[in-house]
Structure 1
Amino acid sequence: MGLKTEHLDVGYGGTPVVQQVNLQILPGKITALLGPNGCGKSTLLKALVRILAPQSGSVQWQGQDLRHHSSQAIARVLSLLPQSQEVPEGITVRDVVGYGRSPYTRFWGQLTATDQQQVEQAMQLTGVTAFAERPVSELSGGQRQRVWLAMTLAQDTDYVFLDEPTTYLDLNHQVELMKLMRRLNQQGKTVVTVLHDINQACRYCDHLVVMQGGQIVAQGEPTEILTTQLLADVFELDAEIHRDPIAGTPMCVVK
């Protein structure tokens, strides 16, 4: 059954941004949410992890309304890397990554050997081990983004949600992150990510969900749904679609 929405309306201050969305998150796949700014991608993502409550309809986990599960239970299966985070003063990278273990810790947050192992592994995967003892406030935007990602991975959930994860990352680290996303998926994790780069989405994701005006207008495999008409209608792009010479996936080339 996994995670799905039924006739979901969600937004801010009583005004729905996402309207009547029916979406099944495919287990074991990488799903990208795509669409122009303001179309509801991040709002939908927040509803899927219970940060935003539905105004009508529902988000369901394993056949039961997400609101009926405890916060700790949800935090052990769903994790989120948000767009931005407040930078805590004087807190080291290692400590911040350790916060990802909070759904499992007892005795005032004391980390067990298993927790420490998860923290070390998350830092290695994201390439932040070298500055583990430095305060997060001293790091660049790109380095901080990798620290937040490490904290999310330390949570060790089956479903990982990433809201515009390539923000602040240079091109090299963007590619590293997308490859890491694929490795996590190969290890059995379901990944849902908001992306702006259509070609990155086609190359690294299995399933695309295209949104416009708060609704889903297309979804499916990249080869199935990426058309010149879709690019024109949703993204206002006059573009051609070619085959990526390396990955073999669809590639959008603007005229």
Structure 2
Amino acid sequence: MWLLAPSFRLKKSPWGSLPPCWAPHSSCGCLTVQNRRIIGEAMLSIENLNAGYKGEKVLHDINLKVPQGSVIALIGPNGSGKTTLIRAISGILTPASGKVRYNDQDLTQKSIQDRSKLVAVVPQIRNLPPAFSVYEVVALGRTPYLNWFGITSGQDHEIVKQSMAQVDLLEMADRNIAELSGGEQQRVMLARALAQQTPVLIMDEPTSHLDLQYQVSFLKSVHRLAHPSQAEIQNGFEPRSALVAIHDLNLLTNFADQVALMVDGRLVKLGTPAEVLQPEILSGVYHLPLTTLQDPITGHFAVLPR
């Protein structure tokens, strides 16, 4: 997808004490997204998007905005167009018409390398090089910024360490990727996306095939990326925008600010989890009588068959 993979000249990841810029934030800028502060509300905007395969239209006039500091869960039955939408946003699939913008930048007109500096993707299928360490896989996220020689800099290494710290992977840095559990590997994929230093994260069913504890842990990490603590913000962490395709409706209220429901390639409902997870809406979409229960303590919803 990118031009060159990073060149690793060290046999072991460059550990030691954390850099001075780690806390509090200093002039090096390695903790901010793309070394910039975003003034006002940044926004990923999908405008009148149409896309498909071999002349067959799959997406129909999709309009969706993902503000900075928010997580939108993308739901819908199999074949509703969720993966196609993610491919169109990421640049894997060229839209037939419409726009994908980040603020005033038209992503459909950018090269893959330039788009990779604004949008990072966590795919559904983990295609990981088995001989690589965790550190080396995460460092692949720096590829869009490397020169033609593919050599990583000291700043690249610091960004890689920061990305692993955000998802609690520092202690696993030197482990072989093949030794990790599915949940741990998916956290590596998230860290690799973070190492791209993009303001937008797109995820295609990242919790598929994970045990429940790993699903919850992963989605908590995603929520934290969009909603960093005040201390993290003071240390340079920027709130991210996240669009997450997911099948498990019962996990939505744990992490999603809004839910976008797709049916037959169309966005049919957008709102809070409480607004979208309504039995009369879901029963028709999934062709199954459903009901919802609400936890009186947390306010979270559970979707159950009748």
TM-score (norm 2): 0.76
2:288 alignment counterpart:
237
Aligned-residue offset at 1:143: 3.0
Aligned-residue offset at 1:138: 4.2
Aligned-residue offset at 1:118: 2.0
Q: Is the 8 A contact 1:33 1:208 kept in 2?
A: yes
Structural mapping, 1:218-237, within 5 Å: 218-237=269-288
Give the Cα separation in 2 of the matches to 1:168 and 1:224: 28
1:39 alignment counterpart:
80
Q: Does 1:190 align with 2:241?
A: yes
Q: Does 1:103 align with 2:144?
A: yes
Aligned-residue offset at 1:108: 2.3
Aligned-residue offset at 1:15: 1.4
Give the Cα separation in 1 of the matches to 2:265 and 2:286: 14
Query: Aligned AA for 1:191?
Result: A
C-alpha change, 1:107 and 1:20, in structure 2 (3 Å) is closer
1:158 corresponds, among 192, 199, 211, to 199
Give the Cα separation in 2 of the matches to 1:207 and 1:31: 5
Q: Secondary structure at the match of 2:145?
A: coil
1:8 corresponds, among 49, 52, 65, to 49
C-alpha change, 1:142 and 1:179, in structure 2 (3 Å) is closer
Between Structure 1 and Structure 2, whose CA radius of gyration is higher? 2
Q: Is the 8 A contact 2:49 2:98 kept in 1?
A: yes
Structural mapping, 1:42-191, within 5 Å: 42-106=83-147, 108-187=149-228, 188-191=239-242
Aligned-residue offset at 1:228: 0.9
Aligned-residue offset at 1:29: 1.1
1:254 alignment counterpart:
305
Q: Is the 8 A contact 2:91 2:112 kept in 1?
A: no
1:202 alignment counterpart:
253
Farther-moved stretch of structure 1 (112-121 vs 132-141)? 132-141
Q: Is the 8 A contact 1:2 1:63 kept in 2?
A: no
Query: Aligned AA for 2:241?
Result: T
Q: Secondary structure at the match of 1:25?
A: strand
Give the Cα separation in 2 of the matches to 1:247 and 1:56: 42
Farther-moved stretch of structure 1 (145-154 vs 119-128)? 119-128
C-alpha change, 1:28 and 1:87, in structure 2 (3 Å) is closer
Deviations 1:58-80 (A, max 9, x none): 32332443222343332222111
TM-score (norm 1): 0.90
1:216 corresponds, among 267, 270, 280, to 267
1:24 corresponds, among 57, 65, 69, to 65
How large is the RMSD of aligned CA atoms in angstroms? Answer: 2.0
Q: Is the 8 A contact 1:145 1:168 kept in 2?
A: no
Q: Is the 8 A contact 1:198 1:252 kept in 2?
A: yes
> 5+ unaligned residues in a row in structure 2: which ranges?
1-41, 229-238
Give the Cα separation in 1 of the matches to 2:180 and 2:69: 33
Aligned-residue offset at 1:89: 4.0
Q: Secondary structure at the match of 1:103?
A: helix
2:24 alignment counterpart:
none
Give the Cα separation in 2 of the matches to 1:88 and 1:37: 29
Farther-moved stretch of structure 1 (155-164 vs 14-23)? 14-23
C-alpha change, 1:246 and 1:42, in structure 2 (3 Å) is farther
Q: What count of residue pairs does the alignment treat as equivalent? A: 255
Give the Cα separation in 1 of the matches to 2:168 and 2:256: 22
